[in-house]
Amino acid sequence: MKSDAIKKGLERAPHRALLHATGITRDGLKKPFIGVASSFTDLIPGHIGMRDLERFIEKGVHSAGGYPFIFGVPGICDGIAMGHKGMHYSLPSRELIADMVESIASAHALDGLVLLTNCDKITPGMLMAAARLDIPAIVVTAGPMLAGRRKGKKLSFVRDTFEALAKARVGDITEDELCSLEIEACPGPGSCQGLYTANTMACLTEALGMSLSNCGTAPAATSEKRRIAFDSGERIVEMVAADVTPSKVLNEAAFENAIRLDLALGGSTNSILHLLAIANETETNVTLEMFDDLSKETPQLVNLRPAGDNFMEDLHYAGGIRAVQSALKDAGKVKDSITVTKDTVFERIDSLDYIDDDVVKSVDNAYKVEGGLAVLKGNIAPDGAVVKQSGVSDAMMKFTGGAKVYDAEEAAMKAIMAGDIKSGDVVVIRYEGPKGGPGMREMLAPTAAIMGMGLGDSVALITDGRFSGGTRGPCIGHISPEAAVGGPIALVKDGDKIELDIPARKLNLLISAEEMKSRQAAFQPREPKIKKGYLSRYAKLVTSSNTGAVMSS
């Protein structure tokens, strides 16, 4: 066992003394040391229920003959960090989390890991660490929040708070109604109820084979989630004995299965960043272009909020991830592979005995013939841009409009709320990329405001930043290269015509090549927005969004 490095031999007497100080017995030293990386915090609704799950993971580890050690991993709630300086830290926290898990597991010679996670950057950060360490690891996502309720109507966080504030601004609802929605939209623990980034990543973790069946969709604070936590604790001890490591699970088939599931679900655009980053920690070749190639042949089978009206709980009780993969398997769009459990992907799928086809459609009866994500290219995004096409209306799949250019999210939000954005505009938000932000902030507030004001079928938004999984409408993010490094988005001027053609995968600035060349020659790099601390270091090392915004070595 790896832990023998700190507990065996005469020279390890001081190490054993410190271990005994934690309360471990002599017999406990003979057992596999299992780290439980817990991202419990009082700050994030998706994580407030983790103390309970920690107990059940511990019980499972002990039952199987291991010895568990819980250690903390920090997290950021994107919804609370949104719209102010805090969002600069969200994506960069993914790298910190990966580094922290790596540091603790290596420094304490742990034999295996249970990764207790839930929200946006925490899940991919932990998966990156698991891939990097390549010691047995299993993920437990804490589960989605149940729907809110008000006057018989089901509520969700994004549509009934972010979009509702814009409705209040234009007088469609009263301030008292908005206050009621604030109270009722998020009724308790769990990740936000729709197919936003946290739940997308939980689903993809299950599809990657890194968590137990149903873990991706089982609601928070349920006995089912407790049982999943217990079983995961037991299973990690078996995995240590059998040497089931992430490098054996995170193979080409696993990543293709995860991408196809993402497309069939219509998941968050952030999933592209995260799958690229996780694959970067392995020897698996995953590229931005793969998402688009697979999207063209993978139909969208599920329509959850924000684009649709179903909730995560509806997907769970319709059969969960296995139901979606069953429909894909029938069409030859799933590959068999090993998982962290004793069953393969196909065995997992074949064990399912119920699918609600009102929620999970068959390939022959799909919501859309293409997957939920698309990659666009053109003279404004030569290295690519990403759109959640499942959230775009038919009327906006092709659109040409005049640019309204803003060099920060705050400036764009001020203009939107002041009524300066009109039908036919293309809102351009730049200097919000990985380096320029720094941290590639999410533009949920501007996109939700546009939708809430009824402009979703007449206004587009493009940015070198990114979007929340809650974003819907014609919103194109991840434009690469970003403005801060002289990408063409830095050259756009107010009034320029921009052409969006999602079916043709095109995004173009309608100026001549000569004018583009002239503007490029006149471009002057800007001073960094943040010049000290972690974000300054991050900006110097982070790579482009089309490669996952990972840190360069």
For the domain made up of 31-144+190-350, give the CATH fold: Rossmann fold (3.40.50)
DSSP three-state, residue 398: strand
Q: Are 61 and 36 in contact, with CB atoms under 8 Å apart?
A: yes
Tell whether the model's pLDDT for residue 425 goes beyond 90: yes
Q: In which band, very low, low, confident or very high, does the pLDDT at 553 lie, cut at 50, 70 and 90?
A: confident
Least confident of 219-228, 465-474, 543-552: 465-474
First to last CA, the chain: 30
**DSSP sequence for 45-88:** GGGTTHHHHHHHHHHHHHHTT-EEEEEE-----HHHHTTSGGGG
**Closest to 498 in 3D by CA, of 550, 429, 413:** 429
Lowest-pLDDT choice from 60-74, 223-237, 437-451: 437-451
What does the block give as tokens for 366?
A: 């799909």
> Left, alpha or beta for 211 (phi > 0: left; psi -120 to 50: alpha)?
beta
pLDDT interval class at 90 (50, 70, 90): very high
Q: Which amino acid is located at 322 in the chain?
A: R
What pLDDT is recorded for position 114? Answer: 99
- Read off the pLDDT of each residue in 326-337 and give the average, rounded to a whole number: 98
Please tell me the predicted confidence (pLDDT) of residue 94. 98
Confidence band, pLDDT 50/70/90 cuts, at residue 305:
very high
Q: Where are the domains of the chain?
A: 31-144+190-350, 158-184, 374-547
**In this structure, which topology does domain 374-547 adopt according to CATH?**
Glucose Oxidase; domain 1 (3.50.30)
Mean model confidence pLDDT for the chain: 96
CB-based contacts of 171, cutoff 8 Å, min separation 6: none
Q: Can you tell me the distance from the alpha carbon of 289 to that of 296, in angstroms, rounded to the nearest whole number?
A: 11
Strand 497-501 with 398-406, pairing? antiparallel
Query: Which tokens go with 24?
Result: 């471990």
Instruction: For the chain, give the percent of residues with pLDDT over 70.
Output: 100
Instruction: In whole angstroms, give the CA distance from residue 435 to residue 459.
Output: 27
E strand or H helix that includes residue 404: strand 398-406
Counting Cβ atoms within 10 Å, is residue 542 exposed (0-12), middle (13-18) or buried (19+)?
Answer: buried
Position 190 pLDDT exceeds 90: yes
What is the per-residue pLDDT across 34-58, written as a single tens digit (0 to 9) for each? 999 999 999 999 999 999 999 999 9
Q: What is the pLDDT of residue 491?
A: 98
The pLDDT value given to residue 166: 83
Q: Please give the pLDDT value at position 431.
A: 98
Contact call for residues 279 and 380 (beta carbons, < 8 A): no
Q: Which of 302, 295, 293, 294 is nearest to 327 (CA)?
A: 302
Q: How many CA atoms lie within 13 A of 41 on its CB side?
A: 16
Check if 223 is active-site: no
Supply the pLDDT for residue 169.
Answer: 84
Task: State which H helix or E strand residue 257 sits in.
Answer: helix 252-265
Query: What distance in Å separates the CA atoms of residue 174 and residue 171, rounded to the nearest whole number?
Result: 7
Residue 35: per-residue pLDDT: 98
**Angle 193-187-453 (CA atoms, 0-180°, nearest 5)?**
60
Residue 170 — very low, low, confident or very high, per pLDDT cuts 50/70/90? confident
Mean pLDDT, residues 2-16: 97
For residues 109 and 103, give the distance between their C-alpha atoms in angstroms, rounded to a whole number. 10
Distance CA 515, CA 403 (A): 16
pLDDT at 439: 97
Amino acid at 480: S
Helix, strand, or coil here: 302? coil
How would residue 471 be classed by pLDDT, with cut points 50, 70 and 90?
confident
Contacts for 536 with CB less than 8 Å, ≥ 6 apart: 438, 528, 530
- What pLDDT does residue 148 have? 96
**Angstrom distances, CA of residue 466 to CA of 80, 496, 545:** 16, 22, 9
Q: Percentages helix, strand, coil for the chain, rounded to the nearest 5?
A: 45, 15, 40
Confidence of residue 165 (pLDDT cuts 50, 70, 90): confident
- Cis, peptide link before residue 246, omega less than 30° from 0: no
What pLDDT was estimated at residue 465?
Answer: 97
0.85 exceeded by pTM: yes
Structure tokens at 233: 């604790």
Distance CA 460, CA 130 (A): 38
pLDDT in tens, 234-268: 999 999 999 999 999 999 999 999 999 999 999 99
CA distance 270 to 281: 17
**What tokens were used for 219?**
């609601």
Question: How distant, in Å, are the alpha carbons of 114, 177, 304 from that of 145?
Answer: 22, 22, 14
Number of H helices, E strands in the chain: 22, 14
Question: Given this chain, do its domains 31-144+190-350 and 374-547 carry the same CATH topology?
Answer: no
Q: What DSSP line would sit under 351-395, residue for residue?
A: T-----TTTS--GGG-SBSS-SEEEEEETTEEEEEEEEGGGS-GG
What are the structure tokens assigned to 328, written together?
């894909």
Choosing from 93, 213, 468, 480, the catalytic residue is 468
Tell me the β-bridge partners of 508.
499
More confident residue, 131 or 159: 131
DSSP code at position 41: -
Of 295, 117, 146, the residue nearest 210 (C-alpha) = 117
